[in-house]
Amino acid sequence: MFIKQMTVGMMGVCCYIAACEETKQGVIIDPGGNEEEILAACDKEGLTVKYIVNTHGHPDHVCGNGKLKEATGADIVMHAADADFFGQDKVEQFFSQLGLPASPPVDKRVEDGDILAFGNETLAVIHTPGHTPGHLCFFFQEPGVLFLGDYDLTPFGPWYGDRDSSIQDTISSIERLKQIPATIWLTCHETGIFEENPGDLWDQYLAVIDHRESRLLDYLNEPRTMADIVDAWIVYQRPREPKEFYALAEEMIMQKHLDLLVANSAVVKEGERYRRK
Ligand SMILES: [Zn+2]
Ligand SMILES: [Zn+2]
């Protein structure tokens, strides 16, 4: 098994090339930019790319799909819950606002338990919704390599700011990933590679969710509007640029917490204001 990590694109996503050493067939996971370099790395190893695989449909993970598909003819693979976005006009517009090309329509939709074969290697598909509804992780059983995608074990903690993200699904997915008997863990952001069991990092990563919730509850000792809540920067800790983008993400993530807290009767909404009960 050949595996190469490359940091690509303006968001610094870790893209991975994985290939069968005997047949030289391979896959590219999350090509989020630097397409020429990815192609050069494949050429250098003499690889034929069978699949362009995306852990999920976020722009920084799929923006190289088009160029790589054109160059290699490989099939684009995603979970249906994220794949269905692509090929629509509004998605093209959304991506062009970000200055990134959207993925072409997805060729192959996969789900939990599916196996992607290339050469003599197989990649097991694990559906891990939460970050996005169609987020996927991948497991190479033989060498025990687990691709965690955006469950990246960073101190920032899990991100669940999409319309269809879910806090509960995020927690269940992380709990499931923790149980997989891997020997190497690969993520799409920051550290990227863990060659020893992340151990406590799993729990610290999950604990960020509770920490956000308790900070929010403290803040709601007085009634607050959503604008107040966003200004408290509980998730991002401080205003970040571009502010518009981060303020929206802060709001979306806080809204997920508020929905749960209101459903559990820990918080009430009175007019425009939320208050701890
Ligand atoms: Zn993402
Ligand atoms: Zn990401």
C-alpha to C-alpha distance for 138 and 116, rounded to whole angstroms: 9
- Ligand 2 centroid to Cα of residue 105, in Å, is 20
- Ligand 1 centroid to Cα of residue 199, in Å, is 23
- Ligand 2 centroid to Cα of residue 276, in Å, is 33
Q: Where are the domains of the chain?
A: 2-198, 209-276
pLDDT above 90: residue 10 = no
- Ligand 1 centroid to Cα of residue 44, in Å, is 29
- The domain defined by 209-276 folds into Arc Repressor Mutant, subunit A (1.10.10)
2-198 CATH pick, 3.40.640.10, 3.40.50.620, 3.40.630.30, 3.60.15.10: 3.60.15.10
- Ligand 2 centroid to Cα of residue 222, in Å, is 34
Q: Average pLDDT of 239-254? A: 94
Structure-token pair, residue 201: 């990092």
Average pLDDT across the chain, whole number: 96
pLDDT, residue 192, reads 87
- Ligand 1 centroid to Cα of residue 13, in Å, is 10
Q: Average pLDDT of 109-133? A: 97
Q: What are 51-102's pLDDT values in tens digits?
A: 999 999 999 999 999 999 999 999 999 999 999 989 888 888 888 888 899 9
- Ligand 2 centroid to Cα of residue 150, in Å, is 5
pLDDT, residue 11, reads 87
Give the number of whichever ligand sits closest to the CA of residue 162: 1
- Ligand 2 centroid to Cα of residue 72, in Å, is 24
Q: How many helices (H) and strands (E) does the chain have?
A: 9, 14
Report the 10 Å Cβ neighbour count for 183. Answer: 12
Whether 265 and 258 have beta carbons less than 8 Å apart is answered as no
Give the number of whichever ligand sits closest to the CA of residue 56: 1
Structure-token pair, residue 40: 């050069």
Whether 189 and 9 have beta carbons less than 8 Å apart is answered as no
- Ligand 2 centroid to Cα of residue 151, in Å, is 9
Q: Average pLDDT of 24-53? A: 98
C-alpha to C-alpha distance for 39 and 42, rounded to whole angstroms: 5
Give the number of whichever ligand sits closest to the CA of residue 161: 1
- Ligand 2 centroid to Cα of residue 121, in Å, is 26
- Ligand 2 centroid to Cα of residue 188, in Å, is 6
Q: What are 187-243's pLDDT values in tens digits?
A: 999 878 999 999 999 999 999 999 999 999 999 999 999 999 999 999 999 999 988
CA proximity to 157, closest of 235, 84, 100: 235
pLDDT, residue 92, reads 85
- Ligand 1 centroid to Cα of residue 54, in Å, is 10
pLDDT, residue 191, reads 79
Give the number of whichever ligand sits closest to the CA of residue 8: 2
C-alpha to C-alpha distance for 266 and 217, rounded to whole angstroms: 8
- Ligand 2 centroid to Cα of residue 102, in Å, is 15
